Structure 1
């Protein structure tokens, strides 16, 4: 059992009953200790804990406490430059702040770490601590369902999800077979699980035979096997393979479609992989594979499916392009808008789509439905999240040619009909309560680049801004062999995206906020904090507060041993410690192959936290890598994310209710609950991805 995985994903622990009966003070002492971290037990779990022997109780506590500390970031020591922050910064003169900064920067030049020496003063007790997070009693079956749901998810999983899958396969080994779902519809997830099966079990050949369908499936498995990018957006370095492993992969390729269309699409990766597979040695056993590699290796001319489609579009033969794409319904769906913009007979295109839509994946149909519902709504930007493991976003001017309203309506009706028909085949939901708050949460269509967080939600979701006067951003990082300077900044802008002010290492005190001081190295860890006074910034006409992290010394975050950031909610800035685990609203690990990121944007007008989890992948062309020089990119990304239109969980669950449930208005009368705080919640991403998409 892995308590960290179960608590992080479902806020539960599995604890078999004991035969003892502990005195109340032991259980109470344990609850007080985890209460300081912002957690408590449900009544069933507290009762179960009370049955443990003293030895088992100690073992459980020693496993539980580190997991909880890591979740909220309490496993490290926080030492800001000004230990009595924020009052100390409020009261410091500009001369004192400048002198401390100058001496600290001088230390970098002479290879010394110079920090001002201040005595830490006693702080007032914390005021207004939020209610604790409840940890419930789980079951072994429920814990094991985490693997099944992740492996069977219909969207790409994150690196955190992959570490969870790895833990299960590594610990269960051949016994993992009973947890592998009947279908693994998402090819990237199937490839990663397949690679784990090859590495840690002896049953991979048998299990993969029923899941591998195409040549690209095999290529993805190899990419995952060599710790590469299963999305195939980045190059993977292939190493020497043993003879049994070569035969396994060639056998999978031979029994797949072994389509040259698929292989030519990734010609160069296949050619490099062929050098490790030696397919000519096994031409007698795997003739189709050997022939395909011969075409690739000798650059034999082969006209692919995609080249035929492109030629038809180039010749303005939309009917021919549609007929070709209809043989691959997913490709037809993705190119539907382009075909409709150029077709003389849009009805024929829509008819072809409607005839094949039952073979289009649920995520694609949902995204298509949302796209055409808002197709005619003016929007300044089109936002794209390119494939890959770094959470990038591109924004372009919205200049799509117009379509007729009836054309958009026909596509929407077709998508809705096929989705409802599909969901109708699933088990009944009974009476269902649907929370209106789910309109603010987006469907987790892709989690590939999602960062590990205390509360993981899909990018573009809006969480309610907690009740409090002060929001405190924080960051903690540790360097490896070279100096690492990570800067925490906050940028305030108006509703029409005009700069109000910024808090950064070069501006520690300004309207509505304070910065704890710039620390430029972290041999044993370093931390920075920013306090945001919500009321003051609202009065200054600020609407959006951008939380921004920048690697001033230009190391990618993924090269740091540890780096995480988050936000706390405080009623009074000087009550409680500078870092109080109980007040952590969210904490996110910063591990992207990037030198800047925007974890979240506060919307002071709507009273929400917009979860962005975006990376800034381009360095400024001038000056340092800081908030000021990244301002143009941040402004565009903020405009893009605050105007983003994505399918909401409310929309998704409404379709399920139409297909297989009856909506009720009271939670107490419901058999199934979809809500922000009960039943299936926006934080149950693996359940949503596996069972509702």
Structure 2
């Protein structure tokens, strides 16, 4: 399992231990099969496999192929309702009428006592009074997967088909340790899937090398949860809230503290470790008690599991629970700041915020809106004095925020840690452009000193420049070719085809893949869904209403012919289990040239495949944008609307979808281009990467994928490690 996760996460295949031999034919066969899925093995990987005993090499090849096929969604059979899709999709009402006709053949129901006429059936279908789910032909596959494949010609290769290189890694132990150190030492919060992977890796590496620092507190809680369970010493605990997060992690709860946790019963060694950690933190700085009141109820709940009264030798730890009970007063820094703001004393508020520089940066917008012209210089001087004590991620977040504050936003889009989104109007007064420019220059100068540049020669693939800087893993999703929210990626090809696949767990579940088509002003033009099988050249593969064995729906969009300016795919839950309840749920898109033929799903044409695991009932993965030169781009949304419990349709959420898409499209995100510009200040040379480029010395490389022939010792930032670009 770890080997598969490492391959999928890093595109590196751990070196296989085993007897030597000649497996040249096996490695060649693997490379051929990999090409059919859009992958190829690097030279060193093929050479390594070729030197293994054939049986060992074959076992490794099977594991590698299984990992990459799952990565792009090729591990399941993607059937379609209309066998010849995208050809032969009927008019919606005529299709409904045909389903009704088939259900009524042999019945005496016509106006003259016979089978109803076409006109009567069309009228019945248009009335909206038909229960489509009750019709035998509707919503279930009418042919086998093999019959569907037989109806389609083979895919014709195209020069723009995707080819992703798999590289040879170190031993499984070495790759496990490297990935563990990378995730644990991340400077940005990890997504849910990565946190689960970090926990698994931490168990494997509990007695091995440990990161020198764990900057993100949620990551710290995951690592310490494993260490607490195995009786190891805790690391990097420096606030009382770190201990609370650890208790939540150990109890299987939410380390982000967004949701309450039901604490488990702790064994005495765990209770002692938690109390000892609290004792160390509060003894070193009693002001840390001020953080307790924010989560007062959770501390009170935790006390029943920790039994503080059993540990009288830890008096400072006892104080934590005394504050939670209200027996001991401890005012937080945030409370003192609020008192200063309430009194209208901005200077005092800034003075107190400067005691926690990160808090000052996070409240900078409020501070700048509250201070007058005479106080602005004081604020900027304070910023200059404390900026070097603030994490690079916070500085970048503020830099991005200020880039959008000199004019009101068309719509303010908010997304919580689960990507559940909501939108509101922007009623904040804009910040003064001159003040923003001064602060931005200060932030740029500070960040320029922190860029991660190991080699003087910087090589950059232009395709990565418009990717949003990954300031949080929670603004993305697990998968292949997935980019953070706000990222822009070019969409090559004449035909865009996106798809969703789901497999229900226990109850009948109906997901509906739909597309909202908007004009340049984000006004509604039309839609494609089960209620409108085609519009403006875009066409649906048909509605599947039961996913006992898995189900797939597709939508085809002819990019050169469609008149819409924005195409917004969405997945609506019409009935059944949620995205985080089904056994499997994924979204992806492919691009093709006209005339390539092929089956509806072809792995080598998949550009991206992402998991859908939000807690809303409507998923908005991304939006496709027509550019001024009639090329197309994709901008990632990673949003979920609350929707209704059942019967969600694209028609009923079109206004909120359009508004949220607009909010993301028009927002200026901090992109990889920004960090590359900062790195260029320090580099002696900056080179644009071109395929096949030769290197004669180690370089710092920034791109979507690692080139095949980079010299040993090069510093590499690719899509899965772009978080490491965020200055520390």
TM-score (norm 2): 0.87
Q: Which of the residues 515, 519, 527 maps onto 1:502?
A: 527
**Does the CA-based 8 Å contact 2:569-2:620 persist in structure 1?**
yes
The residue aligned with 1:579 is 601
Following superposition, the deviation at residue 405 of structure 1 comes to 3.3
The one of 258, 263, 266 aligned to 1:233: 258
Paired residues in the alignment total: 672
- Match status 1:45 vs 2:45: yes
2:530 touches 2:540 (CA, 8 Å); kept in 1?
A: yes
CA deviation string 1:495-543 (max 9, x = no partner): 1101121110111122121111111111111111111111121xx2x11
Does residue 154 in structure 1 map to residue 180 in structure 2?
no
Residues 172-191 of structure 1 deviation map (CA, whole Å, 9 limit, x = unaligned): 4x33x31x211001111111
* 3-state SS in 1 of match to 2:32: helix
Give the alignment partner of residue 157 of structure 2, picking from 128, 137, 150: 128
Q: Which moved more, 1:76-85 or 1:183-192?
A: 76-85
| 2:423 partner SS | strand
Deviates more, 1:377-386 or 1:590-599: 377-386
Q: Greater shift after overlay, 544-553 or 682-691? A: 682-691
Q: Does 1:630 align with 2:657?
A: no
Once the two structures are superposed, the pairs formed by residues 153-552 of structure 1 within 5 Å of their partners are 153-172=186-205, 174-175=206-207, 177-178=208-209, 180-199=210-229, 201-203=230-232, 205=233, 208=234, 210-257=235-282, 259-282=288-311, 284-298=312-326, 302-344=330-372, 345-377=375-407, 379-386=409-416, 388=417, 390-423=418-451, 428-448=454-474, 450-466=476-492, 468-537=493-562, 540=563, 542-552=564-574
Q: C-alpha distance in 2, partners of 1:690/1:202? A: 34
Unaligned runs of 5+ in 1: none
**SS in structure 1 of the partner of residue 344 of structure 2:** coil
Distance 1:374 1:109 in 2: 51
Tell me the SS of whatever aligns to 1:256: helix
Aligned partners of 1:587, 1:101: CA distance in 2, in Å?
36
How far residue 689 of structure 1 moved from its aligned partner, in angstroms, is 3.3
Q: Is the 8 A contact 2:512 2:572 kept in 1?
A: yes
Mean alpha-carbon deviation: is it higher for 663-672 or for 255-264?
A: 663-672
2:473 is paired with a residue whose SS is: coil
Q: 1:166-222 CA deviation, whole Å, 9 max, x = no partner?
A: 3323334x33x31x21100111111111112223x332x2xx2x4000001111111
Give SS of 1:557's match: coil
Alpha-carbon shift at residue 106 of structure 1 (Å): 5.6
Select 1:144's aligned residue among 174, 177, 187.
Answer: 177
Q: Distance in 2 between matches of 1:243 and 1:383?
A: 46
Alpha-carbon distance between aligned partners in 2 of 1:263 and 1:454, rounded to the nearest angstrom: 41
User: What RMSD over aligned residues (CA atoms) do the two structures have, in Å?
Assistant: 2.7
1:655 is matched with which residue: 678, 682, 690? 678
Is 1:83 aligned with 2:67?
no
Instruction: Choose 79-88 or 560-569, whichever is displaced more.
Output: 79-88
CA distance in 2 between counterparts of 1:62 and 1:561 reads 24
Query: In the alignment, is the contact (CA less than 8 A) between 1:457 and 1:683 conserved in 2?
Result: no
Closer, same or farther: CA 595–393 of 1 in aligned 2, 3 Å: closer
Greater mean deviation of Cα atoms: 115-124 or 586-595 = 115-124
Whole-angstrom CA distance in 2 between matches of 1:103 and 1:302 = 74
TM superposition shift of 1:544: 0.9
Q: Shift of residue 373 of structure 1?
A: 4.1
SS at match of 1:115: coil
Using the alignment, how far apart are the partners of 2:415 and 2:47 within structure 1? Answer: 47
Deviation string 1:605-636 (CA, Å, 9 cap, x unpaired) is: 2521111111112438xx83111111122011
Inter-CA distance 673–602: structure 2 relative to 1 (3 Å threshold): same
CA pair 511-274 structure 1, distance change in 2 beyond 3 A: same
* Aligned-partner Cα distance in 2 for 1:239–1:690: 38
For the pair 1:684 / 2:712, whether they are aligned, the reply is no
Q: Does 1:673 align with 2:701?
A: yes
Alignment partner for residue 616 of structure 1, among 621, 641, 645? 641
Q: For residues 468-521 of structure 1, give each alpha carbon's deviation from its aligned partner in whole angstroms, at most 9, with x where no partner exists.
A: 221111111111221111110011111110112111011112212111111111
Shift of 1:664: 2.5
- In structure 2, the CA distance between the partners of 1:294 and 1:114, relative to structure 1 (3 Å rule), is closer
Equivalent residue for 2:28?
28
